[in-house]
Copies of this chain bind each other. A is one copy, B any other.
Amino acid sequence: MYKTEEEFLKAYNPNDYDRFSITTDILILSVSSEEESNYRKLSKKYYSVLLVKRDDYPFKDKWCLPGGFVRIDEDIEDAPKRILKDETNLKDIYLEQLYTYGEPNRDPRMRIISTSYMALVDKARLNDKLSPNASWFNVNYLEDDKTIDVTLDNGEETIHFTIGKTLKELTTDRYKFKVLKNDKLAFDHPLVITSGICRLRNKISYTDIVFNMMPEYFTLGELQQVYEVILGKKLLDPAFRRIIADKVEKTNKVKQGGGHRPSALFRYKNAKKN
């Protein structure tokens, strides 16, 4: 027992305790627009995720989320910002902590604790600034009572994984996720992708989070498509417009050239500002 804190700290040896490595993984989500064959139709929208091809062990040649070690003198929240900057050359991106994973055997090298983050971006902002081993994958997400089935596609390669869901307890909607099938993704990254998509789907209905994925000007049709991708279902126009009416403001710009009535361009308006 020590008399003062100073004395205590002097005698304290951090190496007497178990020591871990800490990493962060970032789920960078966006919504893409594919080119459409029919000039009149709106381009179909997909969720998209940024993945990086691993060129070294462990999980050599597999894909993974951008990530890396947290530095000993670095705030844990700064690590994903740094990695995001390295990988996409962007800063001031929406970033949210998702979950901290710490199974003893999640990494073959050593004991690692990994805190995952979710970032949302407007894809148009960065297609040209990507680091060379990074690539956007379109997401196809299918969920039923017991499993989640995800297919990722970047035009050249297809990644597929399946996750089993079991309810953790009767009182909430929390699930224990277990990876049932996964051939091309490193670590427990299927879990991170899944939980991020679920988080976003929940948050879209009670926040304005979606506007972090939108460009400054957008049509209500485009915005509705993004909602539909995230919620995984079609929405009725009048209902949708009622809901977002006080979140956006009409500008005097229009978007035309689509073989149909031109669409007014809107901009995000923060309701709390008033």
Contact = CB atoms under 8 A, between A and B. Distances in A.
Nearest to A113: B22
A74 interface: yes
B212 A57 contact: no
A127 interface: no
Contacts of A170: 208, 270, 272-273
Contacts of A129: none
Contacts of A8: 56-58
Chain A facing B: main interface SS: loop
Q: Could you say which of A9, A19, A209, A268 has the most chain B C-beta atoms within 10 Å of its C-beta?
A: A19
A172 B22 contact: no
A233 to B, nearest CB: 18
A72 interface: yes
Interface string A60-79: 10000000011111111100
A97 interface: yes
A70 B272 contact: no
Interface residues of A, number: 59
25 contacts: A2-B56, A5-B108, A8-B56, A8-B57, A14-B21, A14-B109, A17-B69, A19-B21, A20-B70, A20-B113, A70-B113, A72-B111, A73-B104, A75-B102, A76-B101, A76-B102, A76-B113, A94-B169, A94-B171, A100-B115, A113-B113, A170-B273, A171-B207, A171-B208, A171-B209
Interface of A: 1-2, 5, 8-9, 12, 14, 17-22, 56-58, 60, 69-77, 94, 96-97, 99-104, 108-111, 113, 115, 169-174, 203, 206-212, 268, 270, 272-273
Given A2-B57, A171-B207, 10 more contacts: A5-B60, A8-B56, A17-B21, A18-B69, A18-B70, A19-B72, A75-B103, A76-B101, A76-B102, A113-B115
